[in-house]
Chain A
Amino acid sequence: MQTGFETYKPMILNGTPDLHQIEVYEAEGGYEDLKKALQIPRSELVESVKKSGLRGRGGAGFSTGMKWSFIGKDKPRYLIVNGDESEPGSFKDRQIFEFNPHLLIEGCLITAYALEIKTCYIYIRGEYAKWIRIVEDALADSRKKGLVGKTLPGSDFSVEIYVHKGAGAYICGEESALMNSIEGKRAYPRLKPPFPAVVGLWGKPTIINNVETITNIPLIVRLGAENYAKIGAPDHPGPMLYGLSGHINKPGIYELPSGMLISDLIYKIGGGIPDGKKLKAVIPGGSSMPILRADMIDGVTMNAESLKKAGTSIGTAGMIIMDEDTDIVEAVARLTHFYHHESCGQCTPCREGTGWIEMIYQKFLRDEAEPRDIDLLLSICKQMEMRTICALADGAAWPVRFSIERFREEYEKHCKKPESPGWNYKMRAVSGV
């Protein structure tokens, strides 16, 4: 499954200098996949995306072709490309904006054509000012070449693409919050169902996909669904942009086939851990995903099935690596601050839970916590998971729950010593744990 990555040739981040310029992109065969796609009947395109096995790269890993086939009959319909990219540990979409914006645009055009969509919004987080400029320049160039906003060659169809600039809120990455954000409202996630494919932007059918997901569409057209499905892990095929950050010698984004061994990514690709230290923990796909202990990664590969068996999930494939000296409680404490800051406040379990969790972590950092606080944390997590409008609450609870389950001794180290004044001996089971 993971064999052959040494000979894999990147297709998204292929290293061609100045690929963001339309002349270079076209010289490399750019926009040919679009021309090819325009000759294929729409239903066949959707079918081949289904057959390719492509799963969304934005976090949930849902089948892209399946999502497309749910699109409502109503018109107009909208396409949104989710480039909010704010999950700690994820920085892959940014590389696409910087190094291959035209592949993204080509993906948007093909997707829009396949789904009869005339308007597409690329939502990019406000912090990415530099990358917004790159994408806007690329859009302008593509417009000049008669692609964006113009009747597409050999068809009677045209697609308008706009960039919508965010302004600093993690929750805008959640698909329904993102729609409210574009509509000019506070970015509160919406109750689902109805799903965006049926009732989305301005109540119209809307397909929302991650930036990386959309850049895979031209590749499927180019290679054909069968050949695409052969890349990487069969249950989660395709090229994948892996992120390596934290304690790693060669951090960065690496395009490789899906289903890479975590250990290969860390040691062969990432050059191992600085100062020859040992690995303590890995968060495999952005901060919300369950953390893995070093002894849990043997033979685990980066695809949905393998990670599920290992007790975690792929998320955005942005791996955060922690060496043996890392204080897990301090690291997770920082994440609790993040989730408290980013909770939109609509749901009581999330708004209150993230706040209480952060406060309890502050106690651990002051070494004032008592062992029962560990159980209190777990009980708060239980009251947050699966009880809210969006998945932020789960994402906030998981780092806490799984770091406690897998690193409980670290939490105990931070607790007050029994002999210190005020230590509470009454270890009682907190209800519901």
Chain B
Amino acid sequence: MSNSLRFKTSKFIDETYRVSFKFNNKTYFGFKGDTLASALLANGIHLVGRSFKYHRPRGIMTSGSEEPNAIIQLHDNSSRTEPNVRATEVEIYEGLVASSQNCWPNVNFDIGGINNLLSPILPAGFYYKTFMWPASFWEKYEYFIRKSAGLGKSPKVADPDIYEHNYIHCDVLIIGAGISGIIAAKMAAKNGFKTLLVDEKSYLGGSSIYDNSEFSKINNQITSSWLEKEINEISKLENLEIKTTTSIAAFHGYNFLLARENLTDHLPINQRNGKVRQKLLKIRAKKVITATGSIERPLIFDNNDRPGILLSSAIKKYIDLYGVACGENNILFTNNDTAYETALSLIQRGIKINAIIDNREQIDSKISYEVEKNNIKIYKGYSVVDTYGYKRINKISIMKLSKDGQKLIGEKIKLNCDCLGVSGGWTPAVHLFTQSGGKLKFREEDQVFIPEVYPSDQISIGSCNGDFSLDEVVKNTLSSIKKFLNIDNSEFKTIEIISGLNQSKRNIWLLPSDKSIGKTKSFVDYQNDATSKDIKLALREGFRSIEHVKRYTTTGMGTDQGKLGNMHALGIISETAGTKMGEHGTTTFRPPYTPLTFGAIVGRNVGEFFDIFRRTPIHDWHIANNAKFENVGQWKRAWYYPKKNENMHQAVQRESKAARDSAGILDASTLGKIDIQGTDASEFLNRVYTNAWSKLAIGKCRYGLMLNEDGMVYDDGVTTRLGENHYIMTTTTGGAANVLGKLEDYLQTEWPELDVYLSSVTDHYATISVCGPNSKKIVSKVIPDLNFSDEKFPHMSFKDSKINNIKCRVMRISFTGEHSYEINIQANYGKSVWEKCMEAGKDFNITPYGTETMHLLRAEKGFIIVGQDTDATMTPIDLQMDWIVSKKKYDFIGKRSLYRSDTIREDRKQLVGLLTENPDDVLEEGAQIVADIKKTPIEMLGHVTSSYYSPNLKKSIALGVVKGGKKMLGQKLIIPMENKNINVTVADPVFLDKEGERLNAKL
């Protein structure tokens, strides 16, 4: 490779290890240790993408996670493809493939670039104002906007990588391993605190680790050498854990933090298989030390976004850390001293600096004198007013600033360059601090927001706390950590700091232009193409709150969350509106600090672990017998058991008929079961169910309905009295946990005087229900010890018994209207008892049926399913279940609500049966019910809640809720469907065997 841009001076680059990679389909070379950005720059490539709105050519701007422009698609088209990756953070490896993402058809010829020419008609709020009107056009616009805007592509196949979640508990968490973080880590760990130090970079030391200047020294050593020794020392400490390439994504209350640790992203693809790619760390720290440093500010001037314009600190890092020069003819533009450090790094390697443009009239620091000594022209009190060059900067023009900094004076001077470094001072990285709930204050003298009120046991140190000089950073870190950790020994003897920098700065948020503002493009948010003009327009249109300006102009709303330009937006707002900084609020920084992968968020909860499910003890039998399953709550329940080519309808018809003609068997193990004991158990049931319980004899079962305090049906089920002070309650499958929670709530908070204990025993028992005219014959064979005569064992009663010496409980209860028995046995015997029943039922065509048939059978009987025929607006009276509401009981949950003015309305929706005119028409559940289709708007009277074709009645049956339905028996109603109107008649919801002959038949 031609490499006039690469300098063999960096300790961080392994020049013996050449790496080839592809960018936009072309092969390039870099070295191990390079980021994609440094390797591209070494190849002379600045243009890496197009801006979002105007599609202007954009280049690499920074060297870190704040990068707004170099946003790329990694691993084109492979299963690992990932959009919105910052080229400044990707370590290159052999075979890396990446491409520009915000351009179409390609980065050098971009069709959206026409937006740049149309920009006078693309002001702030353009998308809101134009494309939203007329609303019907949106579909047409959207296609082209999406195609040309392009925020990268999501992968089309499953992610092959493995991700993990880990919990970490520590005494002290230190975020950021720059110089202050390293000092803090040593102090904490050496004083016995279990310490975790994390940094988003792959190396420790932050920007000080490549600070080789003679002008900043610690104890008479060059900063980087001093720091290296310290890092070497702390890496041996036992109670210090260090994690690099680990970025804190979120800082929540109570010192709970989320971090993403990258483990394999730097490896060639073929070395990643079987390894964990990223870990999501859930960190709970007793104390948090935030040492996240600061982000250099750009300067806001006309055309400040051309490729080749970088932050001055990024130019320094590329040359010092990666040995890469960003240009051959450099100009630096600054309002403070840090650009002179960059200048010295360039001078040291003999890289040409054409000029330094400094906003300040007076510059008085050792390093500026050193730069001047090298015959570099410094334009003092000047500002850049424009830049030139389409795909790469080639020229700038500068003018002298007026005394107040608001105007330009004198002649315009043009200067050539291929790289412009800008420095607008530094913004403390307070993102994580504010995420944690911290409050900021504004420091007038250098125009920065710094931490003021800490919401938890935490502290900010170093430049994220507004300490910018090396002297302040080191000394304040020492003193505040001593105080924060309450320790005497700082572990550091006297520290002498020499620094050649002066902290003076001339802050001008929006630099003046010689053009009218309407003709300028001074970018505040590079990624979202928000300019100073847009912000001023928003203010003119009446926006004031920063949150509104932000949304209207989209400033700070890109994937970089405006890390570079938010401060300028605030500054321009306050200057334009004539208010104080912070008066309109600072923007809220929300997690994640840098984008998180979905993989890290879900960890191992993928595939079958995405949503855990519960299996009954008989599950394997259902699988072996071709059951189809449905999800009920977290349970997998057998839905139906198709034979050969049967579809669901055919299977359900067969199962339903068999259950009534001979025998059916259902796995009911999922029903919630709550064991209730205590001397007040009967009184407790009296209070929670609508019906009376005191007189239920031991050995008897009773159906109960439970309401919410607002009178609406909440759950139902059969409860059995096992003993004087012992009941077992069943609940719906989905409601079990909530019912238990509700009962505990009343017991613990309203009625603590009651002697009642509740235990969930749902998982303890398998429940097998055998129903049909032959059910008795079958269960008699399975449990020969038990007397099944109707006299001894009538409907709604229970018996203790044994199967092969294993205790079981048998209830004679029915949800189908058939003579039926429920066997409850210790869960691990469930499958074997089920198989015994199948064996015993062989001669009677015993037919396993699933939930669908169960629903059909109960609908024939008009039994409700809570949650299907009810929602949270149905009272027992609405359900025509007045019979179950005790008139005698003084109180029960929900009683008072049953005669509120609203619940006694006669036109409430009430449960009715529906029969179709054509018995073959099966209604759709959820279909709307109306009376009159001629009068518009058509009044909706209700909807269908359950609907089936009944093989036993040989006609379609349905349940529905209809306004005032109770009084409409026999009335004709209409179900309007897409293609036809179906005529129905309101009927009794009990369709089959209203007298209960089947239930009580002598078998």
A complexed with B = no
Q: Which A residues form the contact surface with B (CB < 8 A)?
A: none
Q: Which B residues form the contact surface with A (CB < 8 A)?
A: none
